[in-house]
Amino acid sequence: MVEIMILTSLIIPQSIVNDESCGRIHTFYCDQSDAERLEKEVIAARPDGWDVVIDDGSHVPAHNIISFEVLWKHVRPGGVYVVEDIETSYYPKSTVYGYNFEAGISAAPPLNALSRFRQYVDVINRGYKGPSGHTFSLFEGDDTI
């Protein structure tokens, strides 16, 4: 059975995103910049993990990184993690849903989520770095990326 989790900062009518007849789509409205709250509320709600995670949250690049690094280790093998609206990593100065942030194309993580995602590619390919590459890590649980 496929379990889908949607993380959002938007207030969306439950009938739009929850399929109550199958009970497999779960929507969480929370502050994705709070790693502890993600652990306590989102992960606790489905300790067996998720097959699909859709991050349609605040769209603040730093929040995308926090959410991914907390939630990824709870995506089941073969599962998918989707981050929506990543173009905000290119915004030099912006406000989205009441959050002020600075990013930009050359900004380093956590200001630019895409810069961090490129680092995940290094994690995926760490075995090619030789013996020292096997210890290259960005967060606990990244060995399953």
Does the annotation mark 74 as catalytic? no
Q: Please answer whether residues 61 and 110 qualify as being in contact, where contact means their C-beta atoms are separated by less than 8 angstroms.
A: yes
d(CA 16, CA 69): 27
Reduced to 3 states (helix: H, G, I; strand: E, B; else coil), residue 7 is strand
Q: Which of 26, 59, 74, 134 is catalytic?
A: 59
Q: Element (H or E) spanning 36, and its range?
A: helix 35-37
Q: Please answer whether residues 138 and 123 qualify as being in contact, where contact means their C-beta atoms are separated by less than 8 angstroms.
A: yes
Residues forming the active site: 59
